[in-house]
């Protein structure tokens, strides 16, 4: 039976781009580990992704992971391996697959097929 680990993530940025940071909490039973960092120039999406990537990469073995995030960007990155966005004019922006590759790789380690 796999251990069940809960991960809670968030990222934020002022100005986008601007100063920002991320935080994550990993919980297994009564044990908790926290992760956080700040950057002088970053984006909101980068911080949201970093929170999830850092926490998933910290797993030492395959686990059942329950990841809680308020970021649709991160959810799409985990479930599809890439994200898409729309500009104000409704035109599709390029896929951010390159940015989501580390998230997808960390997710594959956490959730083996």
pLDDT string in tens for the chain (113-residue length):
889 999 999 999 999 899 999 999 999 999 999 999 999 999 999 999 999 999 999 998 888 899 999 999 998 888 776 545 444 444 444 444 455 566 666 666 555 55
CATH code, domain carrying 14: 3.30.420.10
Backbone angles phi, psi at 82, to 5 degrees: -155, 170
List the Cα angle 9/69/53 in 5-degree steps.
50
Q: How far is CA 82 from CA 65, 69, 86, 89, 91, in A?
A: 20, 16, 14, 21, 17
Query: Whole-model pTM?
Result: 0.77
The parent domain of residue 40 ranges over 4-110
How many folded domains does the chain comprise? 1
């Amino acid at each position: 039976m796999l251990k069940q680990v809960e991960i809670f993530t968030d990222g934020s940025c002022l100005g986008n781009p601007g100063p920002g940071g991320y935080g994550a909490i990993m919980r297994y039973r009564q044990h908790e580990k926290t992760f956080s960092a700040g950057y002088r120039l970053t984006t909101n999406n980068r911080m949201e992704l970093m929170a999830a990537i850092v926490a998933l990469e910290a797993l030492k073995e395959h686990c059942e992971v329950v990841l809680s995030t308020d970021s649709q960007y991160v959810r799409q990155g985990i479930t599809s391996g890439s994200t898409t966005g729309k500009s104000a004019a409704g035109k599709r922006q390029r896929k951010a697959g390159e940015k989501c590759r580390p998230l997808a790789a960390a997710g594959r380690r956490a959730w083996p097929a």
